[in-house]
Amino acid sequence: MNEAETRAELIDLALKAAGWGIIADSRIRREVIAPGRLIGSSKRAQSDIADYVLVYKGENSPSSKPKNENSPTPKA
């Protein structure tokens, strides 16, 4: 399964099942150019592309690159 198929068949369905894009004021944004993190002295690191940004009531929530559902979960 390639990345586009994974998104369409697994990730998008899981997000909708969790209510994203259905619940009022929630939205799923895909392939968003995100500004780099602040590194001090009003400078930013290089920008990156976020696969998903979840928005609720106008606030962006943190997102990360989707991983294989069989990948080990990182330990805190």
What are the pLDDT digits (tens) for 11-45? 899 999 999 999 999 999 988 887 878 888 888 88
The model's pTM is: 0.65
Sorting pLDDT into bands at 50, 70 and 90, what band is 47? Answer: confident
Burial of 5 (0-12, 13-18, 19+ CB in 10 A): exposed
CB under 8 A, 24+ apart: contacts of 56-59: 56/23, 56/25, 56/26, 56/27, 57/25, 58/25
The reply to whether 42 falls in a domain is yes
Length of the chain: 76
Number of domains in the chain: 1
The reply to whether 3 falls in a domain is no
The reply to whether 32 falls in a domain is yes
**Of 46 and 67, which is predicted with more confidence?**
46
Q: How many CB atoms lie within 10 A of CB 52?
A: 19
What are the pLDDT digits (tens) for 50-76? 888 899 999 988 666 666 666 554 444
The reply to whether 38 falls in a domain is yes
